Amino acid sequence: MMSKILIKNIKELIQVETELKTKVAGIEMKTLPSIKDAWLAIEDGVIIGFGEMIDLEITDWVGLEILDADGKMVFPSFCDSHTHLVYAASREEEFVDRINGLTYEEIAKKGGGILNSAKKLQNKSEDELFNDAWKRLEEIKRTGTGAVEIKSGYGLSVEGELKMLRVIKRLKAESELTIKANFLGAHAIPTKYKENRSDYIDLIINEMIPVIESEDLADYIDVFCETNYYTPEETDRVLQAGIAIGLTPKIHVNQFTSIGGIQVGIKNNALSVDHLEVMEEQDIQDLIKSDVMPTLLPSCSFFLGIPYAPARRLIDSGLPVSLATDFNPGSTPSGNMPFVLSLACINYKMTPEEAINATTINAAYAMGLNKTHGSIAIGKTANLFITKEISSVAFIPYSFGTNCIETVILNGEIAN
């Protein structure tokens, strides 16, 4: 039997919506709607009511579990719209290489990077990958994530990519987290296709995509559109093959160079374009005319020591911004969304309210989940968390490295 939960005495209920929005952009991102001294009711995994304590009346509720928030705050769970959290092994040897002076691109050129992860994945079974990824999901659950997108892209062969996607499908079926799968067969060019790149792209289109369709293995299609990886033309070709079987593009662009990836994303109605560390004015102007969600990954900049995306310029130009972790073994070995909030405030100069909007409502949009996730609204999935005793919203990004979350509720059930 599904439980009924009433949370009472909430010091502040954050990101409440009475009229549903799809996303918030520009100056609106500074506003974070909330109710002070609030209650929230959940039934059958869904939010069925909320309001001010002063107006709370319980009439015919039986079997009600009452949680006294006792002056703590309630937030909708974070949506992490960009991760690579299925992987075979960590890569701290590259971390040490970077400390000793190599760059991410130099490490990749000598066979490290994504190709290193692909080699390690070959020898792992589906069960091993599943069990390791499961532990990562448990970890991100405790730091407030309620929905997560997971990419393939460390297979880079028909068997490897399908193995990863089948693992993600199992995680989807068994986890309390809401999961979306993104097919990233075009993450790097495998070494044996260096001289005949189009043969690998043919493999993606003719061998991988048909199985993905028949086994229903993905929601999205991704390409790493970047110098030394995939050109905009190659990106376009892969995206169109994905679109033909019903996948929506969500792509990696402008991490190191601006080569037209954003324009390919816009042309193919991408849900999001992600990274954006290097942006030309034209890229911003083109995004303004589109519905594509710019998604920034500050922990990747932090970890690699690369420039931070120009978040302020994007928001001040009227764009929406979403934030994600990029959890992966090479450029971001962390799925910690509160740390993303801290980095966004400190390095992007986003206000705490903007950062919360970017990790909830806008992040839900970037995962195609804005009807069910990303805010406290009647009828939405009851994915939320109760904080520890904190003084304000800003305390979460301010107290970086501290976990301010006490109780996690997923699908209306206490999950920690």
Question: Where on the chain is the footprint of Fe ion (CB under 5 A)?
Answer: 326
Q: Which tokens sit at 406?
A: 């006490």
Q: Based on the shown chain and the rule CB under 6 A, indicate whether residue 143 belongs to the binding site for ligand NIG.
A: no
Whichever of 94 and 326 has its CB closer to Fe ion, that residue is: 326
Smallest separation (angstroms) from ligand NIG to the CB of 330: 2
Which one of ligand NIG, Fe ion, none is in contact with 81 (Cβ closer than 5 to 8 A by kind)? none
Residue number with the shortest CB distance to Fe ion?
326
Listed ranges 3-11, 265-273, 322-330, 399-407: which one lies at the site for ligand NIG (CB under 6 A):
322-330
Whichever of 219 and 326 has its CB closer to Fe ion, that residue is: 326
Q: Which tokens sit at 252?
A: 């990696």
Whichever of 42 and 309 has its CB closer to ligand NIG, that residue is: 309
Listed ranges 52-60, 66-74, 119-127, 321-329: which one lies at the site for ligand NIG (CB under 6 A):
321-329
Residue appearing with tokens 């993303």: 340
Whichever of 283 and 326 has its CB closer to Fe ion, that residue is: 326
Q: Based on the shown chain and the rule CB under 6 A, indicate whether residue 328 belongs to the binding site for ligand NIG.
A: yes
Distance CA 43, CA 381 (A): 10
Residue number with the shortest CB distance to ligand NIG?
330
Binder among 77, 81, 83, 117 for ligand NIG (CB under 6 A):
117
Listed ranges 208-216, 323-331, 346-354, 372-380: which one lies at the site for ligand NIG (CB under 6 A):
323-331
Whichever of 11 and 275 has its CB closer to ligand NIG, that residue is: 275
Q: Based on the shown chain and the rule CB under 6 A, indicate whether residue 326 belongs to the binding site for ligand NIG.
A: yes
Q: Based on the shown chain and the rule CB under 6 A, indicate whether residue 265 belongs to the binding site for ligand NIG.
A: no
Q: Based on the shown chain and the rule CB under 6 A, indicate whether residue 232 belongs to the binding site for ligand NIG.
A: no
Q: Which tokens sit at 74?
A: 């309630």
Distance CA 175, CA 268 (A): 31
Whichever of 328 and 362 has its CB closer to ligand NIG, that residue is: 328
Orientation angle between helical segments 126-142 and 158-174, nearest 10 degrees: 50
Whichever of 28 and 132 has its CB closer to ligand NIG, that residue is: 132
Q: Residues 262-275, buried b or exposed e (16+ Cβ, 10 A)?
A: bbbbbbbebbbbbb
Listed ranges 112-120, 165-173, 265-273, 357-365: which one lies at the site for ligand NIG (CB under 6 A):
112-120
Binder among 143, 255, 258, 301 for ligand NIG (CB under 6 A):
255
Whichever of 67 and 343 has its CB closer to Fe ion, that residue is: 343
Residues 65-84 vs ligand NIG: string with x where CB under 6 A? -------------------x
Smallest separation (angstroms) from Fe ion to the CB of 24: 24
Which one of ligand NIG, Fe ion, none is in contact with 113 (Cβ closer than 5 to 8 A by kind)? ligand NIG
Question: Residues interacting with ligand NIG, by CB under 6 A?
Answer: 84, 113-114, 117, 224, 252, 255, 300, 326, 328-331
